[in-house]
Structure formats: C-alpha cells, structure tokens
Amino acid sequence: MGNKMRVFVLVLVFFLSLDVGANNTQRLVFTDCWFSVAFNKDWQVTSKPVKKNKCQLEAKHKNSSANLSISVGYSEYLQVLSEHGFDYFNQQWVTVGRQGAIEIAEPVKFKHWQGLKGTVAVGCHDDGGYIGICPHDVLVLRESSMQDGNVLIIKSFSETEMDFSDIYNTLEAAY
C-alpha cells in the first residue's frame, strides 16, 4: 500500500507541475500569513517569508526594474493606512510623502480585497547610497467580506509605466 501511495503522489505532483507550466504561473500560498498570490514567468520571487519576517514577500520583474512587496498589516485597517502614508484630508483620501508631496488616493477593489491605492514620494537608494525622491505605488487592502479581516500592504515600483493589476487580482485569502 505504501508504494502505491508514493506512485500516486508522484503522478499527482507531475500533473500539477504540468498545469503550472502550462499557464506559466506559480501560485504561492502562505497560510500562516493568510494570503496567496500567483506570479507569471516574468516575475522572480526574490524573498519569500522567512522566520525573521515571515509575512513579507518580495518579487522582481525579470525584464525591467519593477519590483513589489506584499506584507501583512498587524494593526487595524485605518492604522495601517496612516502608517503607510494615507490621510483623510479635506474630505478625500490622499497620500502624503517626502517634502510635502500630496497625491489623491483612489479606492480599489480586487477579487476578495478592497482598499486604497496611492503614490507616495519616498527616498530612493542604490548601491552608492541616496539618489533622490522616487514615487512608489502603495495599496492597503482589507478583505471585503470580513469587517475585521486580514490587511495587506502592497508596495510596487517601476521606472516605466507598468500595470500591476495582473498580480493584484490573483491575491486570495488563505486560511
């Protein structure tokens, strides 16, 4: 019975790997962090959650300078918004960045998530040190079906115009 089970598992793994290769996506499930995400072949996961920071994932686009990070917010939704540059000012949501930069934030909804998306001006660094102010897209999302559900923080950056919604739409709650 043990050998038959091993053969079955090997065959199942083979067919599952064919399915992942067929649509060129890789779904990563982080049940401890309550989310899953799928990346296509153009993205390389550069930092999976580790013991030190088990609920942050980082990925880099293979053909550009684009990168993104996804992490879990451990405070309530409004507090996480504030911690990541969002403010409710003059009856609208805005993002507040370095040197007084203010941008209007927009409401977003992706599958099981809803929240705010904004651009925050932050300090940029490279191997040589500080290089100036750079805009980063920041999304703070919460589960749309639960009042006190999971909160995700997504930060994305690209030097060229790039649509990250393909990744945002693959986010799912994982329990």
Going residue by residue through the chain, which has 175 residues, state the pLDDT in tens, using 9 for 90 and above: 444 433 333 333 333 333 333 357 888 888 788 888 888 888 888 877 665 667 888 899 998 888 888 988 888 999 999 999 999 999 999 998 777 778 999 999 987 889 999 988 777 777 888 877 778 899 999 988 877 778 999 998 887 777 788 888 888 877 6
Distances (CA, A) of 14 to 19, 25, 86, 145: 9, 16, 46, 35
User: From CA 93, how far away is CA 82, in angstroms rounded?
Assistant: 11
Q: What is the pLDDT of residue 50?
A: 60
Q: How far is CA 36 from its chain centroid?
A: 10
- Write 155-159 long-range contacts (CB < 8 A, 24+): 155/68, 155/69, 156/66, 156/67, 156/68, 156/69, 157/65, 157/66, 157/67, 157/68, 158/61, 158/64, 158/65, 158/66, 158/67, 159/64, 159/65, 159/66
Q: How many CA atoms lie within 13 A of 164 on its CB side?
A: 25
Q: Which helix (H) or strand (E) holds 115?
A: strand 113-126
Q: Using an 8 Å Cβ cutoff, are 152 and 70 in contact?
A: yes
Q: What is the pLDDT of residue 73?
A: 87
